[in-house]
Structure 1
């Protein structure tokens, strides 16, 4: 009788769980996997490991196991450690010491990883410079990081970029090296590296460096202004790498990334994820849709990194008989649209585990689609809320502010209602601060959200959580939009556009393009004369803006609509977009093939909307 009662009790509990909390088993499995990798990170923190120490540990353990694959070459763990040692000694021989900063302006290549690991052995902090930046924006990033030396890749386009600011660098007394053959203007850093010994680096060379000290700066647009440098610690590197580790990679796995190493995805999830898990990483200099699957077959790739835009390009490649001839078992990334997601699985294999995630480089909150739920970013279950610090709150997009109750407190968003994601800041969950004035970081913090004195990180992103706790991305708010996999600051672009030929005022915003990820840039301008000098303006934006930041559309207006506080209105401009049936103003389109802006016609508009004209 007691045994029967016991069984009935278990049965009742199981029924109640299935009825009211059917997600418990999934929550427990995710929590178990997540906490196991977090526990490892805590052990590394206790040992005060920096990135170089992790490479040293893995190299001693894995020795001749392959680590980095690039083009037709392979570097083992031991060889990468030796290379990092030589880079460290090269930096020291050139007068770099703990606390100094260097700039890395390089395409994806193994040397990037070796220099980074070697710099952490010396306590030198590299700034990961976006290779698309030009003139003013690039100088801003260099100044912000206070770099003492700049190491540039050997690509002609990068050398041309540096030549454009050569005099500015000389005024700042910044030494420029090229990683390749010496030029008439710049010494070869690789020649300096080749002369060094490959012995391990004494720990006292780095000075007093801790788990929380920066090991690199990664730039983000934040929400306003020029790029901001986020201080990335060893702790942040290992924490981000745990996302990849949730896929349980091992020595037989090869992680493929064609994403740029100057971004956190490739640097932290890719390189650090492979390093921590003892896997190999296959690196491509720059993303190529046509070479994506040939690379995967060449390197026997099992895990791929992506952003939604790259997968859209891959899916647009011609169908081949080899589409399912690969070893890819999983993919990790963000920004994958459901239609592309479905197309990808249908075409390349339904059994590929898609681990979509969300997180900001400087942020303290995120989601992971650990259980491979189609179309979502992860779950926001009651257990998730206990383990993390994120909340979706009601947001007024028109007013660009939180919706607060009569007591001035934020209101939690309802199920199926878009809400702003905010992450609570406390002693256990902090932010990666921006380098520079404290006010830069403070702009991302909301105060007195649910009670006096509390502080929350403002992600600037709207999400929706359904009745099954599945979370879906909805939109970005404020003055940033995303295009070609990059965050674009409207203020930064406006500051440059307004200095363009014939431009008196500029208002920049993002507009939707059917079938495209993110939003394309559009600039409303007031001109000094009646007509836009299309060729001159095209040349100007190409010289001064990264390709993804150049306005795809230019709308010429007589004057701007302003708010009561004299801010430029963007809501209506975003809604109207480039629709010629609504807009009476002239709109110009970025004609890349013609190397000029061209007047938009109804036929061109239709071509853009149906995908026949590429934006």
Structure 2
């Protein structure tokens, strides 16, 4: 304010000089101020909602009163207004109540993307019942584990046959736990129809004396981690965090004229928080797709007149792999928002579908407390960590040794801030403003993710498990997951960076890079699992390509050809099992190729060669 007052009263030449100095030495300041103003406005709204103790149901009720006749949910050929979705949610609430569900009870939703999913969720929050969003891809032991840790009393299954198959596999276990199973659809010989029960209810608003006693900071849902390592964990997400998820859309200035395309699964936070809650608070329309399809994305966008697309990085890679058409730029999309968009896909997407499209890339995690937002639309980065934001935010990037899998510490045992352009471990200070969403179950699960006494006694920081880097322009970039970066021939290798290169090689459709152990060798050798466009691996072409584009230590020593990749529910490639199997031909049925430095090409790995690599007679 002092500077502003001085500028207003100063001569024009002085003002110009001061402004020139600011642009020269603090070029990030103007953008930061713009961002800070918008972000502080969002935080102010959140505090008002907290003071009023709102839950998700309250937000829909408020919007239905203001814009009740506006389209809210589009699905296939169905159209639901705000008023209609509220009425449906009221029915779901009463149906749950009729089955004895009370505030604090837990149910599970095992459904594909559909409007009923949203009505069940909102109706649950009116009653104070907490729904667990089950990943539709998990089966048997993992599915039962997810149900157990949420302490579910009632399970509602969607009408898809493969979901019934999954439930039938654990039918006896569910009966032992006295968990009632319903189908949201037509009644079957085994399961009663919950939708029939819903249809019998009145759609009037829920009276206050029948509302559940749930607060702004109480769990509004359980959302599970992807389970890329070990079994999934259930994260308790409050209405507070659900509303904070709307930040992305509001930063894009979304309003009633925007239609948000959400092909991502509602059982994950991107679709549930950013897509649904974001659209709800912005007063926008959300267009759901049952399941992501790269080949249908643009036809859907034209059908629904979409203006904003939600993505996970891999989905955009699949979209860019689709055949080019004359309709590629025939759309009304003004922005895409998501995370994990690698620079090569980012560039390809804009070149092909329109350079004017705003890319709102962000960094966040379901349970975490650190957020970066590429509000400024800077190519390739997650956001900024300018001197101003270092003061205002809670994130810190610490020096990390990938070889020992430990933080680098000073002589006093304290972690050290990473240098400019140096990948380091991202941590987030835990306090009232930047809280962590705990896991359901044993408190030790949450405690394992927290560092204590980082910079001083008594402080606590959330360990994201992610390696990030901040450059000289204060732009922040994602590097890798801890454990994915490996060391080979004295050099650190980023699996993400190598994957970005390999996937552009001759005949390669998809690539997943990881490090594998070789007896007698330090570190891990690079290995790439690939899916081919067609035919056989181009052994000579790939060898020449990696030699031209990667340093010797980063070139994959092994290439495993697969028909397809196993993906998490958020379309991330799983690599734990691939890493464990390595190049062991005794347990791997796929073809594996070895980078033969003598023959200067990739060659098919044989059992004899495998033995030679293990005993050191064949050089790697």
Q: What range describes the TM-score normalised by the shorter chain of this pair?
A: 0.7 to 0.9
For residue 437 of structure 2, what is the aligned residue in structure 1? 432
Q: Within 1, Cα distance between the matches of 2:360 and 2:384?
A: 12
Counterpart of 1:163 (choices 154, 160, 168) is: 168
Counterpart of 2:592 (choices 579, 594, 600) is: 600
Relative distance call for 1:424 and 1:240 in structure 2 (3 A) is: same
RMSD: 3.1
Measured after TM superposition, the shift of residue 607 of structure 1 is 12
Larger mean Cα displacement after TM superposition, 67-76 or 224-233: 224-233
For residue 494 of structure 1, what is the aligned residue in structure 2? none
Measured after TM superposition, the shift of residue 15 of structure 1 is 2.5
For residue 349 of structure 1, what is the aligned residue in structure 2? 354
Measured after TM superposition, the shift of residue 7 of structure 1 is 3.3
1:112 partnered with 2:117: yes
Relative distance call for 1:520 and 1:99 in structure 2 (3 A) is: farther
Q: Within 2, Cα distance between the matches of 1:42 and 1:187?
A: 42
Residue 600 of structure 1: SS of its match in structure 2? strand
For residue 569 of structure 1, what is the aligned residue in structure 2? none
Q: Deviations over 1:16-54 (max 9, x none)?
A: 212210111100111111111111111111111100000
> Is the contact made by 1:105 and 1:150 (CA closer than 8 Å) also made in structure 2?
yes
Measured after TM superposition, the shift of residue 100 of structure 1 is 0.5
Measured after TM superposition, the shift of residue 554 of structure 1 is 7.1
> Is the contact made by 2:512 and 2:575 (CA closer than 8 Å) also made in structure 1?
no
> Is the contact made by 2:268 and 2:570 (CA closer than 8 Å) also made in structure 1?
no
5 Å-filtered alignment, 1:141-152, equals: 141-152=146-157
Measured after TM superposition, the shift of residue 426 of structure 1 is 1.7
Relative distance call for 1:391 and 1:511 in structure 2 (3 A) is: closer
Relative distance call for 1:601 and 1:64 in structure 2 (3 A) is: same
Counterpart of 2:413 (choices 396, 408, 420) is: 408
Q: Within 2, Cα distance between the matches of 1:511 and 1:12?
A: 43
If the length of structure 1 is used for normalisation, what is the TM-score? 0.81
For residue 108 of structure 2, what is the aligned residue in structure 1? 103
For residue 128 of structure 1, what is the aligned residue in structure 2? 133
Q: Within 2, Cα distance between the matches of 1:124 and 1:471?
A: 39
Q: Within 2, Cα distance between the matches of 1:25 and 1:92?
A: 53
1:372 partnered with 2:387: no
For residue 97 of structure 2, what is the aligned residue in structure 1? 92
Q: Within 2, Cα distance between the matches of 1:525 and 1:547?
A: 32
For residue 383 of structure 1, what is the aligned residue in structure 2? 388
For residue 340 of structure 2, what is the aligned residue in structure 1? 335
Measured after TM superposition, the shift of residue 137 of structure 1 is 0.7
Q: Within 2, Cα distance between the matches of 1:375 and 1:510?
A: 13
Q: Within 1, Cα distance between the matches of 2:138 and 2:123?
A: 25
Q: Within 2, Cα distance between the matches of 1:396 and 1:290?
A: 42
For residue 286 of structure 1, what is the aligned residue in structure 2? 291
Q: Deviations over 1:516-573 (max 9, x none)?
A: 88846899999xxxxxxxxxxxxxx999998979977978xxxxxxxxxxxxxxxxx6
> Is the contact made by 1:134 and 1:546 (CA closer than 8 Å) also made in structure 2?
no
Larger mean Cα displacement after TM superposition, 256-265 or 443-452: 443-452
Measured after TM superposition, the shift of residue 454 of structure 1 is 1.1
For residue 261 of structure 2, what is the aligned residue in structure 1? 256
1:267 partnered with 2:272: yes
> Is the contact made by 2:261 and 2:306 (CA closer than 8 Å) also made in structure 1?
yes
Relative distance call for 1:218 and 1:5 in structure 2 (3 A) is: closer
Q: Within 2, Cα distance between the matches of 1:183 and 1:480?
A: 49
1:456 partnered with 2:461: yes
Residue 392 of structure 1: SS of its match in structure 2? strand
Q: Within 2, Cα distance between the matches of 1:62 and 1:17?
A: 44
Tell me, which stretches of 5 or more residues in structure 1 are unaligned?
A: 482-508, 527-540, 556-572, 590-596, 609-615
Tell me, which stretches of 5 or more residues in structure 2 are unaligned?
A: 1-6, 487-494, 504-508, 520-563, 596-600, 605-620
Measured after TM superposition, the shift of residue 262 of structure 1 is 0.4
Counterpart of 1:325 (choices 320, 323, 330) is: 330
Relative distance call for 1:383 and 1:518 in structure 2 (3 A) is: farther
Q: Within 2, Cα distance between the matches of 1:607 and 1:81?
A: 62
For residue 195 of structure 2, what is the aligned residue in structure 1? 190
Measured after TM superposition, the shift of residue 8 of structure 1 is 4.0
For residue 499 of structure 1, what is the aligned residue in structure 2? none
> Is the contact made by 2:453 and 2:459 (CA closer than 8 Å) also made in structure 1?
yes
> Is the contact made by 2:265 and 2:570 (CA closer than 8 Å) also made in structure 1?
no
Q: Within 2, Cα distance between the matches of 1:71 and 1:411?
A: 52
Q: Within 2, Cα distance between the matches of 1:322 and 1:418?
A: 40
Residue 375 of structure 1: SS of its match in structure 2? coil
Residue 408 of structure 1: SS of its match in structure 2? coil
Q: Within 2, Cα distance between the matches of 1:109 and 1:525?
A: 48
1:178 partnered with 2:183: yes
How many correspondences in the alignment? 534
Measured after TM superposition, the shift of residue 587 of structure 1 is 7.1
